[in-house]
Amino acid sequence: MTTPSKQATVIGGGSWGTALAHLMAVAGARVKLWMRNDERVQEINTAHTNTRYLKDRPIHPAVEATSDLAAAAAFAELIVVAIPSANFRAIAYELGDCVSGDQILISATKGFEAEHLTRMSQILREETCCRKIGAISGPNLADEVMDNHPTATVVASPMEEVVEKAGLLLAGPTLRVYGNHDLTGVEVMGALKNIVAIAAGVCTGMGYGQNSLAMLLTRGLAEISRFGEALGADRMTALGLAGLGDLIATCGSPLSRNNTLGRKLAAGMTLAEAQADTIKVAEGVNTTYAASMHAARLGVDMPITRAVNAILFEEHKPADVLVKLMSRANRYEHSEIPIDAPRPVEGSVIDTALSVAARSRGW
């Protein structure tokens, strides 16, 4: 029999929110899924599908949809918030009137609020009384999750209770859960990989192969790792599921909405045309804008992000941006020092001799 501890609420009925609700139901929980659209609420509760986002894939019958935010919030101790970053604060503000301080809030949104580079967990802290806060991230394409493909995700929080209770609800036959105390790193890596995914889509759309994609993925990982460190993240997080794992999934799969957007841009669509051509939100667009805005302030060199920003917001052609990227000075891989302009050698025999000669001549 399902116990009260095996109850959860998901806020947001898009593809990922619905997939998370389904996963927890498969793992034995009763789940409330909140969404504004009453027509989709009825579809989920009667047909057990969400055809707008997940076609005819069946949703576990233990998922019950509702448009009543207060009822959804009161249903469970743990609430997962899967709202696009552009609307995240508005929903978090509404949620703030419905939750109590002993509840757990988990963000499942990979993005930033651009102006101040605010992470979603920070918004939950600002807009609600809850302090048990965490985030979910990893290589979790919603369509594959719904098709029961084995996968893994990371639950990040500085609080053990958050990780343990979220893990209890999420872990199931097709999902392994890993914990991480680096909440900043998991959120930052999960957001920034979407920029590289757009670039990967452009790369694929231009007809380039695995050499090009491998270069992009590797240098993209270095770039987002530097950015994460500047914000206080652990560099090792970039090598985990929220960093490298998610990069592999989103840079190589046509199921990735950010990858798909990149391929449309390579085909000649404008950003507005590419966004209008899909119902799903490509979070990498807003993330590119946010990261580009703050990179200089943080002292982080982000050539791939600058390139994607030029394509998205400055109407540069992908081919021209690629030429500029490939013509950058060659560098040492880890130090980023240009090979073409190495540092002058200090303390050499010649330097010492010249110094002695200068002193003897009174220079």
Q: For residue 294, give the nearest of 114, 59, 122, 151 by alpha carbon.
A: 114
Asked about 110 being catalytic, the answer comes back as: no
How crowded is residue 360: how many other Cβ atoms within 10 Å of its Cβ? 8
Instruction: Please name the helix (run of DSSP H) or strand (run of DSSP E) that holds residue 33, with its range, or none.
Output: strand 30-34
Could you give the CA distance from residue 280 to residue 82 in angstroms, rounded to a whole number?
13
Strands 104-107 and 78-81: parallel
Q: And the tokens for 92?
A: 């978090």
Q: Under a CB-based contact definition with an 8 Å cutoff, are residues 258 and 199 in contact?
A: no
Residue of 165, 193, 280, 324 with catalytic role: 193
Write the burial class of residue 152 (CB in 10 Å: 0-12 exposed, 13-18 middle, 19+ buried).
middle
Q: Are 177 and 155 in contact (CB under 8 A)?
A: yes
- Token pair of 4, please? 């009260």
Longest dimension (CA), the chain: 96
| Positions marked active-site | 193
